[in-house]
Structure 1
Amino acid sequence: MGVPLYQAKAEFFRTLGHPARIRILELLAERDHAVHELLERIAIEPSNLSQQLSVLRRTSLVVSQRRAGEVVYSISVPEVRDLLLSARKILVGLAETRSAFEDELMITPE
């Protein structure tokens, strides 16, 4: 018997639940990156980057290949780009709602 979809979704979101993994996916959504390029763009120790890339590889969200003597990573599931964009839209909407609510509280007469 397989894993219920809601459990698989929870595991998927746990995989995304680390800021470094989100940043890696954001960068890879722009284009493929070699490890040294990721290190230049993410404030992280090389061993920690390796660990986070390993998690993303194990879950098949990213793939790696050797090009010109270096390891280059890319997103293996294009829909991850859509998910990251959707998350951004959700967060912007929540921030706007919160701001409007706070503004309303400030102008309400006592």
Structure 2
Amino acid sequence: MTTSRTAPLYQLKAEFFKTLGHPVRIRVLELLSLREHAVSELLAEIAAPPAHLSQQLAVLRRADLVAARREGSAVHYRLTDPRVVDLLAVARAILSGVLAGQAELLADLRAAGTEGAPGASGAPGTDRTPGA
């Protein structure tokens, strides 16, 4: 029996999505999808302590999603693959569709809930307004 030395593709994909599974890392990728940023710029845009941002940047570096370069005392980050921009756009589109579906469902539930609620029929004596 032969064993594979590499993980199955679905496992590698799961690890990739785990790497993306943190709000600070997503925000960093969003900012870097616009342009290269110095760490000081990222800190100004992201509400995270410097040590936490550093940890998240290290995760993205290990996954080879970002690269760093030093310019004097400043460290600048950039995306290593421009397709990350597309990935973020697709994720946004999927999320927008899911949220739109949930909003529609919520509206349906609210409409169904008010149909049987007291005072919803407009019948006399059901008005709960003070002084009415």
Taking structure 2 as the reference length, the TM-score comes to 0.79
1:37 is aligned to 41
Q: Counterpart in 1 of 2:32?
A: 28
Which blocks of at least 5 consecutive residues in structure 1 are unaligned?
A: none
Deviation at 1:77, TM superposition (A): 1.2
Q: Which amino acid aligns with 1:91?
A: L
Unaligned runs of 5+ in 2: 117-132
Task: Give the whole-Å Cα distance in 2 for the aligned partners of 1:69 and 1:105.
Answer: 57
- After the TM superposition, which segments of 4 or more aligned residues of structure 1 sit over 3 Å from their partners? none
Equivalent residue number for residue 94 of structure 1: 98
Return the structure number with greater helix share: 1
Which secondary structure state, in structure 2, belongs to the residue aligned with residue 43 of structure 1? coil
Shift of 1:66: 1.5
Q: Secondary structure at the match of 2:67?
A: strand
CA deviations on 1:9-67 (whole Å, 9 max, x unpaired) are: 00001111111101100000011000000000001111111111011001100001112
Over alpha carbons, which structure has the higher Rg?
A: 2
* Sequence identity (%): 51
Residue correspondences, number: 110
Q: Which residue of 2 aligns with 1:7?
A: 11
CA–CA distance in 2 between the matches of 1:107 and 1:69?
A: 59
Equivalent residue of 2:78, what SS?
strand
Match of 1:67 in 2: 71
Asked whether 1:104 is paired with 2:102, we answer: no
Q: CA deviation at 1:3?
A: 1.1
Greater RCO (Cα-Cα under 8 Å, separation 6 or more): 1
